[in-house]
Amino acid sequence: MRRLRSIAHLLPELIRTLLKKGITVRFPFEPLDLPASHRGKVVVDPDLCKGCGLCVRDCPAFALELERGEGGQFELIHYYDRCAYCGQCAESCRSGAIVLVSEMIAPVEGRDKLKVTIVEKE
Amino acid sequence: MNALFSTLFAVVVFPGFGFLFLCALAFQWIDRKVIAQLQGRVGPPWYQPLADFIKLMVKEDLLPTSANPLICTFLPMVSLTAVLTAGLYVPVGDYTTNAFEGDLIVVLFLLSLPSLMYFLAGWLSVSVFSVVGGSRALLQYFAYEVPFLMALAGPAIISGSWSISYIVDYQSQTTWMVLIQPVGFLLAIVGLIGKLKRSPFDIPKAKSEIGAGPLTEFSGRKLALWHLSLHAKTVVGVFLLVDVFLGGSDGLAWWLTPPVFGAKALMILLILAVAGVLYARLRIDQLVSLGWRVLAPLALIQMLALIWMGV
Amino acid sequence: MNDTDRLTIPIGPQHPALKEPIAFRLDVEGERVVESALRIGYVHRGLERIFQERNYVQNLHIVERVCGICSHAHTTAYCQAVEAILGVELPPRALYLRTLLCELERIHSHLLWLGVLAEHIGFTTIFMYTWRDREIALDVMEDLSGGRVAHGVNVIGGVRIDIDEEQIDSALARLGQLEELMDTFMDVIHHERTFEARTRDVGYLSPEQIHRYCVVGPVARASGVDVDLRRDAPYAAYDRVDFRVFTADEGDVWARTIVRARETVESVHICRQLLENLPDGERTTRVPRRVPSEEAVSRCEAPRGELLYYVRGDGSDRPARVKVRTPTLTTLITLPQQLQDINTADVPTVLAGVDLCIACADR
């Protein structure tokens, strides 16, 4: 009996898989549910951002840039294509202004559209 | 004039090129879908094999400089021609173009021509992967062909004729051959898996070892014809097994024949698909040892048993 | 072709048998491999030089991307080295969370490897099944940390994540599922005859060869050499959990499969212990940004063996030198030895059996 079973060893498992539903998610025809902790888009709260530049200093991919003008003016630029979505900026920010939401960036045409000014302050 | 028209119809439409082409696409889709579902995946949509064929037909056709382009164009055409000609002589339903005594031998001979072409394709397109794949294909041919032929000779011995239509008629009067000689049926299935180079005997085209084996250097239309000949061989092989072991159409009424014949063909295709999924790929020396130590003696015992029963 | 009927088969840099680029040139006579030559360096990115140009916080994320499969092991070793220089003590909760991710990563890496081995011997079904079940481990990691393979969990001084009761319960449930599914694979490895026929007596390494080439990890354990850093030089929270180290005696690819499969099941037990006994407390301690001019060596048991990091500070916020020694480098050296006189069809099995991670080895 044992030798007989060993000829078609995987057969019970195959039948079990046939009866279960497949785990493929037909994205984008079906919605893909991401957990809440999924690291997606970088979102900065403009009221909390002080322009200190800690996030710029700690970003490993040089995806954040701070352009300072006169009189406390600054612009925080984010490059979506350089960003590795590691979340170090959220960890380094002392004001708690940065959070990575579980949303994905939509594809765009043209790399210049991926350079985005996310905070502009006077 | 009428004879010419009916011959042309038989060769081009049914059961010739058109019918075999559609069946090749359908069988390929069913095979891929069943294997995918057994592995927990989704599988391709119904038009995938047709899309693959069209894509290959319009792709660029390159060959290495040291390969002979004339022969390399000739080989897939000969392979496809042999398979389609064999398809004309295998009864589909209860229709056959021209049944004569000995057409089983002709069909078996024609079905082994593609294996020779496959080996030559590997040998003549001089890349390293192809040469190794080609020599493996030839070794494999000798391992499974002998048990396969002996297993298919069994029904011929019992029914007393080498004509497939006669074997089908004999089965409709007595019983299916698979019930008289189940071992022969199993050996025929194993031999068919080896002939079609499906897993677990897909050694010549073992992807992880030698690229695509003998067909590594083919592309474009030549590769489309190779794939078509391989899938048409699947169809002809399955139909042959249905006729010789499962009773073909059982002599039923004309409107019952397509579903019954189709169901039997589907069953054999399912057996082939499940066998492909169950096992790991064997090494060539393990396959040769299996062929000569297990399969050939079993086939011999089966044949001797049949002769003793018949006498 | 200089000899009578010797063929030279090139495997790589691009080949279906390889996950990552590496080049072998095999001299084959008939079906027997006579000689082999190895060439590496195709994935060399010059990371050790890049580490000197970035500060410690940025380096953390680059260290994570040295390798995709054992990323957490790299960050653990790096953080431990820097923490040793700074002389900081981690809170126990941080140690437990670090260890939890280490073990989850071991599960995912071993299941990935089992699938790759099955694919190379032509057993596509097991490939599909193991990668389907690996998704469970990846989902747990994503739920806890936010990333499937690049977790970003370690920071210098602790961890960046914190988990609550709900996450612990869901992780425990999913790990229970995974443990049941592992039964199928243990069954196949032990009893499926074609699997055994392809992996037994292939790629044999004796214990003397293990010692001579300084091989580490499951490859060493499969030849009977009992070495495991988690037990011999415990780091993180390994001194507070109970686990067994498995060895086998056959020394071939089948023994390596057994060792890795058993380690996977044992990792599930370790994760369960960690989740059930998670202490309360802080998840990180404050560390200064500048690291004094001292050096430290830290070791970690990555899924493939012992991983070694040497870090030297120079008083600024950039390291003066980071040296990485990955376990794959030790197993690569044994490959020409293993490929001697084997069947050509066994070459992918041998390559898969040592679990190469070329991105790690080339840095």
Chain A residue numbers touching C145 (CB-CB < 8 A): 37
- Quickly state the pLDDT bin for B270 (edges 50, 70, 90): very high
Could you report the per-residue pLDDT of B135-168, keeping only the tens digit for each?
888 888 888 888 899 888 888 888 888 888 888 8
Measured torsion, CA atoms of residues A8, A9, A10, A13, in degrees rounded to the nearest 10? 110
B22, containing H or E segment: helix B17-38
Partners of C25 in the beta sheet? C10, C37
Local structure of B197: helix, strand or coil: coil
Measured between beta carbons, which residues in chain A are less than 8 angstroms from residue C160?
A: 87, 91
pLDDT band at B208 (very low <50, low <70, confident <90, very high): low
Which of C5, C25, C344, C346 has the highest number of chain B CBs within 10 A, making it the mutation to test binding with B? C344
Whole-angstrom distance, CA of residue B68 vs CA of residue B80: 19
Q: For chain A, how many helices (H) and strands (E)?
A: 4, 5
Please give the single-letter amino acid code of residue B271: I
**Min Cα separation B264/chain A (Å):** 21
CA C145 to centroid of chain Cα atoms: 19
For C27-37, write each residue's pLDDT tens digit. Answer: 888 778 888 88
What b-and-e string marks burial along B68-89, b requiring 16 or more CB atoms within 10 Å of the CB? eeeebeebbebbbbbbbbbbbb
DSSP code per residue over C148-191: SS----EETTEES----HHHHHHHHHHHHHHHHHHHHHHHHHHH
- Beta carbons within 8 Å of B298's beta carbon, 6+ residues apart: B147, B183, B187
Q: Is the Cβ of C236 closer than 8 Å to some Cβ of chain B?
A: no
Instruction: Give CA separation, C294 vs C81, C84, C85, C195, C313, in Å.
Output: 11, 10, 6, 51, 6
C58–chain A Cβ distance below 8 A for any pair:
yes
- Centroid of chain to Cα C274: 20
- Of the partner residues B42, B277, B278, the one whose CB lies closest to the CB of residue A22: B42
Query: Which helix or strand (DSSP H or E) is residue A12 part of?
Result: helix A11-19
In this prediction, residue C11 has a pLDDT band, given cuts at 50, 70 and 90, of confident
Note the pLDDT of residue B77: 92
Torsion of CA A33, A34, A35, A40, to 10 degrees: -160
Domain boundaries defined on chain B: 17-310
Is residue A78 assigned to a domain? yes
Q: What does each C-alpha distance from C352 to B282, B295, C17, C182 come to in angstroms? A: 17, 31, 8, 20
For the domain that residue A74 is a member of, what is the CATH number?
3.30.70.3270
Question: Residue A9 falls within a domain, yes or no?
Answer: no
Q: How far is C337 from chain B (nearest CA, A)?
A: 19
- Chain A residues in contact with C161 by the CB 8 A cut-off are 37
Residues 6+ apart with CB under 8 A from C101: C72, C141, C144, C145, C151, C153
SS3 of residue C121 by DSSP: coil
From residue B217, alpha-carbon distances to B124, B220, C79 in Å are: 10, 10, 50
Whether residue A79 lies inside any domain: the answer is yes
CB contact under 8 A, A22 and B37: yes
The yes-or-no verdict on residue A4 having pLDDT over 70 is no
| CB B214 within 8 Å of CB B121 | yes
Average pLDDT over residues C66-89: 91
Q: What is the pLDDT of residues A10-23, one digit of tens each?
A: 888 888 888 887 77
Is the residue at A46 inside a domain?
yes
Least confident of B74-83, B157-166, C132-141, C239-248: B157-166
How far is residue C43's CA from residue C65's CA, in Å, rounded to a whole number?
12
Q: 3-state class of C322 per DSSP?
A: strand
Q: Which two tokens stand for residue C191?
A: 């009893």
**CA–CA dist B119, B232 (Å, integer):** 18
What is the reported pLDDT for A1? 55
C124 contact B CB<8A: yes
Name the more confident of B265 and A8.
B265
Is B293 near chain C, with CB under 8 Å? no
| Tens of pLDDT, residues A34-85 | 888 888 888 888 888 888 888 898 899 898 888 888 877 888 888 888 888 8
Cβ separation of A24 and B42 shorter than 8 Å? yes
Confidence of residue B228 (pLDDT cuts 50, 70, 90): very high
pLDDT at C3 over 60: no
List the Cα angle A106/A110/A112 in 5-degree steps.
100
Domains in chain C, number: 1
Encoding tokens for residue A82?
């350089």
Angle among Cα B152, B155, B156 to the nearest 5 degrees reads: 85
**Mean pLDDT of the B8-35 span:** 87
Instruction: Name the residue type at position C220.
Output: A
CATH number for position C333? 1.10.645.10
Residue C136 lies in a domain: yes
pLDDT score for B155: 86
Q: Are A48 and A121 in contact (CB under 8 A)?
A: no
Closest C-alpha among B110, B125, B111 to residue B71: B125
Q: Which residues of A touch B42 (CB under 8 A)?
A: 22, 24, 26
Counted across chains A and C, CB pairs separated by less than 8 A come out at 67
- Distance of alpha carbon B6 from alpha carbon B24, whole angstroms: 23
Would you say residue B272 has pLDDT above 50? yes
Kindly identify which residue of chain A lies nearest to residue B280, measuring between CA atoms.
A10
ipTM of the complex: 0.86
Q: Report if residue C112 sits inside a domain.
A: yes
Residue C40: other Cβ atoms inside 10 A: 18
User: What integer pLDDT is reported at residue C2 of this predicted model?
Assistant: 46
Domain that holds residue C299: 45-337
Distance in Å, alpha carbon of A32 to nearest chain B alpha carbon: 16
Q: What is the mean pLDDT of chain B?
A: 86
pLDDT digit string, tens, across residues C79-109: 999 999 988 889 999 999 999 999 999 999 9
How many residues appear in chain C?
A: 363
Sign of torsion over alpha carbons A83, A86, A88, A93: positive
- Nearest-angstrom CA–CA distance, B157 and B27: 30
Beta strands C305-312 and C295-302 are antiparallel
Report the pLDDT value the prediction gives residue B229, as an integer from 0 to 100.
92
> Would you say residue C1 has pLDDT above 50?
no
Model confidence at C333, in pLDDT bands (50, 70, 90)?
Answer: confident
Judged by CB atoms closer than 8 Å, whether chains meet at A39 and C143 is answered as: no
Q: What percentage of chain B has pLDDT greater than the value 70?
A: 96
Q: Is the pLDDT of residue A6 over 70?
A: no
Q: H-type helices in chain C, by residue range?
A: 47-51, 56-64, 71-86, 92-120, 124-145, 165-191, 193-199, 207-213, 218-221, 229-232, 253-276, 327-338, 347-353, 358-362
- AA letter at C214: C
pLDDT band at C312 (very low <50, low <70, confident <90, very high): very high
CA B7 from chain centre, in angstroms, equals 24
Element (H, E) at A36: none
The stretch B247-261 carries a mean pLDDT of: 78
Start-to-end CA span in chain A (Å): 82
Q: What is the DSSP letter of C239?
A: G
Asked if C45 has any chain A CB less than 8 Å from its own CB, the reply is: no
Residues in chain A: 122
What is the rounded distance in angstroms from the CA atom of residue B228 to the CA atom of residue B34?
A: 20
**In degrees, to the nearest 5, what angle opens at C-alpha C155 toward C-alphas C150 and C156?**
140
CB contact at 8 A, C86 and C288 = yes
Peptide bond before residue C288 is cis, with ω within 30 degrees of 0 = no
Please report residues of A whose CB lies closer than 8 A to that of B274.
Answer: 11, 14
Q: Using CB atoms, pick whichever of B211, B279, B286 lies closest to residue C16.
A: B211
Number of domains composing chain A:
1
Q: Are A11 and C125 in contact (CB under 8 A)?
A: no
Shortest Cα–Cα distance, B39 to chain A (Å): 7
B8: which residues sit within 8 A by CB, 6+ positions away? none
**Res. A3 pLDDT band, cuts 50 70 90:** low
Domain interval for residue A117: 33-121
**Among B105-119, C131-145, C320-334, C339-353, the least confident range:** C339-353
Residues in chain B closer than 8 A to C8 (CB atoms): 128
Burial of residue B253 (number of CB atoms within 10 Å: 0-12, 13-18, 19+)? exposed
Under the banding of pLDDT at 50, 70 and 90, the label for residue A106 is confident
